[in-house]
Amino acid sequence: MGGIMSEIIDPKKFSKESREPLIKIKLEDLIKLEDLKEEPPIKEPPTAWTERYDFTLDGHAAVGIPVPKNEEEKGALVEKFLKGLENDLSKEGNWTFAQQFKLSMDYCTKCGACEEACPIYVASGKKNIYSPLYRSEILRRIYRKHFTSAGKLFGSIVTGDIEETWQLITRLIELSYRCNICRRCAQACPIGIDNGLIAREIRKIASQELGIAAKELHENGTVLQLKVGSSTGMNPEGFKKIVKMMEEDIESKTGLKIKIPVDEKGADILLIHNAGEYLSWPENPEAYAIIFEKAGLSWTLSAEPIGYDSVNYGVWYDDIQLARVAKKHVEIARKLGVKRIVVGECGHATKALVVTAERLFTKENYIPRESVLPILADIVEKNKIDVDPQKNDFPVTLHDPCNIVRLSGIVEPQRKILRKIAPSFREMEPHGVWNYCCGGGSGFAIMHSYNFDQWKNKVAARMKVKQILDAFKKELNDGSFKYVCAPCSNCKGEIRDFISHYKLWEKFRINYGGLAELVVNAMSEIKNPYISKDEFH
């Protein structure tokens, strides 16, 4: 890894204006993926980008903040950021997370115990700017300098060196998008400081005060979802057409004639999938239609705008948008008169609607919400459908979505299912609540601007790639079909990206998919394989 000291970027350097990136990502620094003989090289960003947008963090851009043109714009960036931080420390602006945020601002002892827990920091070859502690410490220094009496009185003796230049602000915002908000670091911190939360608070300040956010999360994400009904751009007519196609698809694949219920008033369950499933992996919502019908559940989908898309990107960057989307989901369910909302295989949507949004709802507008996984486990365990595990005769490993395990505590249902239907199931190490993020967490899976995909695949996803290769170590080169089960749309998106990037399908026949597909593939009454061993998509 070379001379670690020479690579350390101190906060002074971080704030210094420059057009050169603070660090460069080099293959030789990253953790080794020994089973891969080769991997695509790292490319420099074109000057057309670097001249206009700020690429000075690490030569990559997720947000792509335009370089300010004059002193006025530079000053505004700093001023607004400080105003945003003030709001974020206030009860009115941040009742949602003020307690966690204040605690995490006040009590870090800078012991560094969180560093090794972070897959991004470790996979990067321990580049100090990616340390969970570093990002937070930059914000803490600004906080201490401007918002604590000790900082105001004693200056850098208390705060440490910090100069909040425009360059520091743009780099810090960009750096908040180098964290998956997987919160593995918070599990490691003896004090319980949450550096993942701090990354999210930085994103919030940027979004809610400066109007700066990753385009895929805001403009093409929550804004689009609230406007047309889905961040995919799908409108109700489009959705209804897809449902028709799904019914046809189910029949041609399985021979089963299934009528998918839409807007059925008074059904027990409103099932909401991530709308990305309908476009990229319709076999997953189709599998649920088959299973729910066969198990005799009373359920429905909704064709109301937002009612057919469970995503809530607000959970990654903006409390206002988080609350708006969650409110809509609940309103739609109440209008339909269902008894509960069930969120399909989507980690962040589960965390957002089932966990985080809980305290947005008063007694009058409350409706219970749950993940689909316990229901699926119940169906499989109680033999409400017949399964023949031998039909899943290939190696299967399970990717734990952070939002499902560490952040919602749903760990066993998916395992109970796999132990019953996949005889060659093996765990990754570590797994369960100690898992590693797929690299797509906190929105990365859907973010593809500029050269961010390169950073994501090389750094954020690297630990997961290593885990997957290790999980299939024995069969890696024997030509057998292998399945990474990821019960989450975003994780699937990310896994698809890195399988393609590292050519894991071509080299090792590693494929991926959801959990319900494996269940249907094992169903005795369905003769043709539901999962194809011959194609990667």
Partner 1 sequence: MQNPSMGLINYIAYVSYFSFIFAIIVTLLKISKYANTPLHLRWELYPVPSEKEHVHGGSYLERPEWWKTEIKEERGSELIDMLKEMIFIKRLYNNKRKQWYFSFLFHGGIYLLLIWFVFTFVGSVLELANIASGTLFMAFFYASLAFGYVGIFATFIGTVGLIGLRATDKRVSYLTAPIDYFNLAFISLILLSMIVSLFSDPYFNYARSFLAYLISGTGLILPFKQSFLPVTSYITVLLLCLFFLYLPFTKMTHFLGKFYTYHRVQWDSRPNMVAGKFDEKKDVLIRKNLSLTVPWDAPHSPKGKKWEEL
CA–CA dist 423, 404 (Å, integer): 23
CB closer to partner 1 out of 327 and 448:
327
Question: Please, what's the largest Cα pairwise distance for the chain?
Answer: 76
Q: Which does 199 bind (CB under 5 to 8 A by kind): partner 1, ligand SF4, none?
A: ligand SF4
With 0-12 CB in 10 A as exposed, 13-18 as middle and 19+ as buried, what is 406?
buried
Half-sphere exposure of 259 (CA within 13 A, CB side): 5
Please give the structure tokens belonging to residue 269: 């369950």
Work out how close the CB of 178 gets to partner 1 at its nearest, in angstroms, rounded to a whole number: 17
Phi/psi of residue 60, each to 5°? -130, 160
Work out how close the CB of 419 gets to partner 1 at its nearest, in angstroms, rounded to a whole number: 13
Q: Which does 179 bind (CB under 5 to 8 A by kind): ligand SF4, partner 1, none?
A: ligand SF4
Q: Which does 251 bind (CB under 5 to 8 A by kind): partner 1, ligand SF4, none?
A: none
With 0-12 CB in 10 A as exposed, 13-18 as middle and 19+ as buried, what is 435?
buried
Work out how close the CB of 279 gets to partner 1 at its nearest, in angstroms, rounded to a whole number: 25
- CB distance 43 to 135 below 8 Å: no
Q: Which does 96 bind (CB under 5 to 8 A by kind): partner 1, ligand SF4, none?
A: partner 1
CB closer to partner 1 out of 279 and 355:
355
Work out how close the CB of 86 gets to ligand SF4 at its nearest, in angstroms, rounded to a whole number: 23
Work out how close the CB of 537 gets to partner 1 at its nearest, in angstroms, rounded to a whole number: 31
Q: Which does 118 bind (CB under 5 to 8 A by kind): partner 1, ligand SF4, none?
A: ligand SF4
- CB distance 371 to 412 below 8 Å: no
Question: Taking CB positions, which residue lies at the least distance from ligand SF4?
Answer: 196
Q: Find where tokens 């269902």 sit.
A: 338
For residue 324, CA distances in Å to 182, 227, 241, 359 come to 23, 12, 27, 13
Q: Which does 181 bind (CB under 5 to 8 A by kind): partner 1, ligand SF4, none?
A: ligand SF4
CB closer to partner 1 out of 184 and 509:
184
Work out how close the CB of 181 gets to ligand SF4 at its nearest, in angstroms, rounded to a whole number: 5
Query: Is residue 297 part of the contact set for ligand SF4 (CB under 6 A)?
Result: no
CB closer to ligand SF4 out of 434 and 536:
434
Q: Which of 268, 221, 260 is nearest to 241 (CA)?
A: 260
Query: Is residue 430 part of the contact set for ligand SF4 (CB under 6 A)?
Result: no
The three state secondary structure string of 450-495 is CCHHHHHHHHHCHHHHHHHHHHCHHHCCCCCCEEEECCCHHHHHHH
- Sign, Cα dihedral of 419, 422, 424, 426: negative
Q: Which does 409 bind (CB under 5 to 8 A by kind): ligand SF4, partner 1, none?
A: partner 1
Amino acid at 371: S
- CB distance 63 to 448 below 8 Å: no
- Sign, Cα dihedral of 496, 243, 304, 401: negative
The three state secondary structure string of 91-114 is HHHHCCCHHHHHHHHHCCCCCCCC
Piece in contact with ligand SF4 (CB under 6 A), picked from 38-46, 186-194, 248-256, 507-515:
186-194
CB closer to ligand SF4 out of 177 and 299:
177
CB closer to ligand SF4 out of 110 and 533:
110
Among 62, 82, 133, 488, binds ligand SF4 (CB under 6 A): 133
Q: Which does 132 bind (CB under 5 to 8 A by kind): partner 1, ligand SF4, none?
A: ligand SF4
Work out how close the CB of 278 gets to partner 1 at its nearest, in angstroms, rounded to a whole number: 25
Work out how close the CB of 485 gets to partner 1 at its nearest, in angstroms, rounded to a whole number: 18
| Sequence-distant (≥ 6) Cβ neighbours of residue 447 within 8 angstroms | 62, 177, 214, 216, 217, 456
- DSSP lists the bridge partners of residue 510 as 482
CB closer to ligand SF4 out of 145 and 406:
406
Work out how close the CB of 21 gets to ligand SF4 at its nearest, in angstroms, rounded to a whole number: 20
Piece in contact with ligand SF4 (CB under 6 A), picked from 76-84, 184-192, 475-483, 516-524:
184-192
CA–CA dist 152, 149 (Å, integer): 5
- DSSP lists the bridge partners of residue 343 as 272, 371
Q: Which does 423 bind (CB under 5 to 8 A by kind): partner 1, ligand SF4, none?
A: none
Which residues from 152-181 bind ligand SF4, rule CB under 6 A?
Answer: 179-181
Among 85, 138, 168, 182, binds ligand SF4 (CB under 6 A): 182
Work out how close the CB of 299 gets to partner 1 at its nearest, in angstroms, rounded to a whole number: 13
If one counts every other C-beta atom within 10 angstroms of the C-beta of residue 474, the result is: 10
CB closer to partner 1 out of 337 and 409:
409
CA–CA dist 241, 173 (Å, integer): 40
CB closer to ligand SF4 out of 202 and 510:
202
Work out how close the CB of 497 gets to partner 1 at its nearest, in angstroms, rounded to a whole number: 27
Among 108, 272, 459, 495, binds ligand SF4 (CB under 6 A): 108
If one counts every other C-beta atom within 10 angstroms of the C-beta of residue 511, the result is: 22
CB closer to ligand SF4 out of 109 and 524:
109
CA–CA dist 178, 195 (Å, integer): 12
Work out how close the CB of 456 gets to partner 1 at its nearest, in angstroms, rounded to a whole number: 24
Q: Which does 182 bind (CB under 5 to 8 A by kind): partner 1, ligand SF4, none?
A: ligand SF4
Half-sphere exposure of 95 (CA within 13 A, CB side): 5
Residues that bind ligand SF4 (CB under 6 A): 108-114, 117-118, 120, 132-133, 179-185, 188-189, 191, 193, 195-196, 199
